[in-house]
Structure 1
Amino acid sequence: MKVSRVIFHVDMNSFYASVEQAHHPELKGKPIAIAGNPKERRGIIVTSSYEARAKGIYTTMNVTEALKICPELILLPPDFPKYREASKAMFTILRSYTHLVEPVSIDEGYMDVTEIAKECHPLELAKEIQLRIYNELDLPCSIGIAPNKFLAKTASDMKKPMGITVLRKREVPEKLWPLNVEKMYGVGQSMAKKLKSLNMYTIGDLANADEGLLKEHFGKIGVRLKRRANGIDDREVDPESIYETKSVGNSTTLPVDITEMEDIEKTFRHLSSKVAERLEAKNLCGFTITIQIRDCHWHNHTKSKTLQNPIYLKTDIYQEAMQLFPKAWDGTPIRLLGVTVSNVIDKKRSAEQLSIFNYEQFAKEEPIYEIIHEMEKKFGKGIIQKGIDVKKKSYASKTSFSKDFLEDLKDFIDEY
């Protein structure tokens, strides 16, 4: 009989703002917001305290607009080292209970507490963890308790701040199905729009949709979303996941809105070069390239392409990005551009392409491959690898601050 898992999703509440209030008690109870530099066109709200949210302040709001709505709003620049330290302290507390902790971003992570729950009621355990984080770090968090990761994540969003919510699989039809489909974790605005065009307006509609229809329009993602909408999620809590790089990307907010191709090409060359540098540093290549465009009205447009052969050179990344660009741009002035290479693998794992220039080499090596094939049948896949590098595990690419913090966890994790 399969034992039901007990999964926690720990989500720090208004993390950056809460860290600032913990360091500066005089800010508690006041509307504060962390914001970028307006002079560099990064003048948007990154996060805000719950006092600010109560006055209508929200993430991505323009600073100028925020001050009109809330003149007493206290604006603070981001202090990333401070947030990293708070994140490490939070994960240290979580790891004091179990090694089965999977960081997702700087302010959230999963815990598999199945074994601990045999001796301690999950609700009591969640209360203890929540109070420890609050008492020791002066930081609030919400915790979702469920039999899988998707439901735990969904539960943690149901009650904030300082909430603890239990969500059982049998409660999915009652609690999730009536909600609008865009309320479901994993469904963005673009996906929601497509689902509604197929008459799927609620999570329940998605849960009961024809699987063939979903697969036709969305591929494997559609099938996965249907399973999640039915409360099914078999993913394990994987502490090793922080060692994996799934994508490498770079984006930039432009000093002024641009429409000229010369400026667009220059920006894409710069972004492609940055992405190529990061891929090279990690010895990676990727099969999928995605470009992002944010226009002057804050509308996001993305376009992706999956290639037959992986890429990693800046010239190739630039060329593919520029081919995608006309398909994603409607002519509206551009505020931000981004390039991401995903579906990445180690370069040594990428298949060499048989061509007129190297077929003789492959012909010579064919007897060797036959021997390797026979040995793998006997002893298992991967028993012999060509040109393997002995290195430490690769940590997540520094494509955003929320991913950068994972590098800081290395020393702590390696002790266990």
Structure 2
Amino acid sequence: MHPVSTPTVRKIIHIDMDAFYASVEQRDNPDLRGKALVVGGSPEGRGGVVATASYEARKFGVRSAMSSKQAIQLCPHAIFVRPRFEVYKEVSGKIREIFRRYTDLIEPLSLDEAYLDVTEDKLNIGSALEIAQQIKQAIKDELQLTASAGVSINKFVAKIASDINKPDGLKFIGPSSIEVFMEKLPVEKFHGVGKVTAAKMKSIGLHTGADLKKLSEQELIRHFGKTGSFYYQIVRGKDERAVQPHRETKSLAAEDTFAQDLKTLDEMDAELYKIAEIVHSRLERKNLKGRTVTLKVKYSDFRQITRSQSLFSPIADQATIFSVASKLLSSAISEDEKVRLLGISISNFNEAENPRALKQQQSGQLRLFP
């Protein structure tokens, strides 16, 4: 008889730096340590967007992607500094060097977080928990920064685990405890479930993983579309996605659903400006530039449209992103229409120069700016 081979249980670590941009600023400037710090746009004038905030500012409710004007209202004594993305990229590179001591299976999600597959580690340590501890300590000793780590057998659970004991946290969720853990988890804590989806879940009596687990896969699909299949799997602790070291970003987006419908183009432009700043920040984190800007609009009656514009040269700056999206918006909105959601996405990151776009630009068909 041939021995029955048992499938290898993967060992996945999710590392998430703690208030990364703000922590780098506090590390480099002793005067900012212990202070309520906001990294992002100024609250003056039109107002910017919060990229991240120190834990001292978070105590007052300041959060990433919040408008800087709202942040200063919540925390009047907050100190605002502009992001230094080149510095953050350099630090992120040093963090990756630490990761590579243990594995080459690294999937960066942004400058400040990544998945690591240490099923087989370079140093033959064998324990994912021990590796996570060593990585955290190396980051602290060599870079004077703290990171939180989640350890489990798949990406989804590891990511949730890394958020449990922040800052400077470490959480292991083993195979035997995953299902019980997922059953107790509030739906808003599921990675990928935003405020709108969480509210919809609660409106139909789904408050925890245990509630989700009561529904069949078809019922979840009926309520949440194709994402319902994903919910069905992950609430049972199943996630077969591999860590992808060379994952290529196809597009990058940000959107916002508004508590009250927007009624005027000025109101919409003001919100679009904030969304453009978030997209700009995310492009900077990933060191990306794209040629295609896509606007997403959902009207008050839940009709949804997208409008796209391809440019000759790749862009990443906020002013251009906003200008293109604003022009697309003005052509998509007619009088008396109300809007409940706006979004901007950027794509075509690494394409060669588009001959068709060039021809249009030369013939004056693609004039975006006067």
Q: Same fold (TM over 0.5)?
A: yes
2:227 aligned partner: 221
Residues 1:190 and 2:196 aligned together = yes
Give yes or no for contact 1:9–1:153 (8 Å, CA) kept in 2: yes
Q: Distance in 2 between matches of 1:180 and 1:41?
A: 36
Matches of 2:113 and 2:53, distance apart in 1? 17
Instruction: Tell me if structure 2 keeps the 8 A contact 1:292–1:301.
Output: no
Q: CA deviation at 1:77?
A: 1.6
Counterparts of 1:16-415 in structure 2, within 5 Å, are: 16-116=21-121, 119-241=125-247, 244-247=248-251, 259-260=264-265, 291=296, 330=338, 338-340=343-345
Name the aligned partner's letter for residue 230 of structure 2.
R
Contact 1:173 / 1:204 at 8 angstroms: preserved in 2? Answer: no
CA gap of 1:35–1:184, structure 2 versus 1, over 3 A, is same
Provide the rounded CA distance (Å) in 2 between the counterparts of 1:166 and 1:232.
16
Q: Which secondary structure does the structure 2 equivalent of 1:143 belong to?
A: strand
**C-alpha distance in 2 between matches for 1:177 and 1:112:** 25
Tell me what 2:320 maps to: none
CA contact (8 A) 2:295 2:342 kept: no
CA distance in 2, matches of 1:72, 1:15: 21
- For residues 35 and 3 of structure 1, do their structure 2 counterparts lie closer, same or farther at Cα, with a shift above 3 Å needed? same
Structure 1 residue 3 corresponds to structure 2 residue 8: yes
Q: Which shifted more, 205-214 or 188-197? A: 188-197
Distance 1:67 1:121, change over 3 A: same
Give the 3 Å change call, closer, same or farther, for CA 225–305 of structure 1 in structure 2. Answer: farther
Deviations 1:290-330 (A, max 9, x none): 61579xxxxx99975699xxx8757xx9999789767x963
**Is the 8 Å Cα contact of residues 265 and 330 (structure 2) preserved in structure 1?**
no
Q: For residues 47 and 169 of structure 2, what CA distance do their matches in structure 1 show?
A: 32
Q: Is the 8 A contact 1:304 1:324 kept in 2?
A: no
Deviations 1:267-286 (A, max 9, x none): 99xx9xx9xxx9xx999989
**Counterpart Cα distance in 1 of 2:251 and 2:163:** 26
- Which structure is higher in helix share? 1
SS in 2 for 1:177: helix
CA deviations over 1:79-123 (Å, ceiling 9, x no partner) = 111111111111121122211000011110000001128634222
Counterpart CA distance in 1 for 2:291 and 2:68 is 38
Partners of 2:301 and 2:34 lie apart in 1 by 38
Task: Read off the aligned partner of 1:15 and give its amino acid letter.
Answer: F
Q: 1:302 to 1:166 in 2, by over 3 A?
A: farther
Larger radius of gyration: 1
Whether the 8 Å contact between 2:148 and 2:166 is mirrored in structure 1 is yes
- Partners of 1:127 and 1:8 lie apart in 2 by 11
TM-fit CA distance, 1:260? 4.0
1:384-414: CA deviations, max 9, x gaps?
xxxxxxxxxxxxxxxxxxxxxxxxxxxxxxx
Partner letter of residue 132 of structure 1? A
**Secondary structure of 1:232's aligned partner:** coil
Distance 1:75 1:27 in 2: 10
Q: 1:342 to 1:211 in 2, by over 3 A?
A: farther
* Structure-2 separation of matches of 1:324 and 1:177: 43
In the superposition, the TM-score normalised over structure 1's length comes to 0.63
Corresponding position of 2:20: 15
Change beyond 3 A, Cα 1:21–1:103? same
Give 1:153 shift: 0.2
C-alpha contact 1:208 1:226 (8 A) present in aligned 2: no
Partner amino acid for 2:219? L
> Which stretch of structure 1 is more off in the superposition, 10-19 or 178-187?
178-187
Matched length? 317
Deviation at 1:346, TM superposition (A): 8.1
TM-score where L is the length of structure 2: 0.71
Query: 2:346, 2:51 → 1: CA distance?
Result: 25
Change (3 A) 1:53 1:345: closer
Separation (CA, whole Å) in 1 of partners of 2:348 and 2:187: 27
One-letter amino acid matched to 2:139: I
Cα distance change, pair 320–92 in 1 and its aligned pair in 2 (3 A): same
**Aligned AA for 2:201?**
L
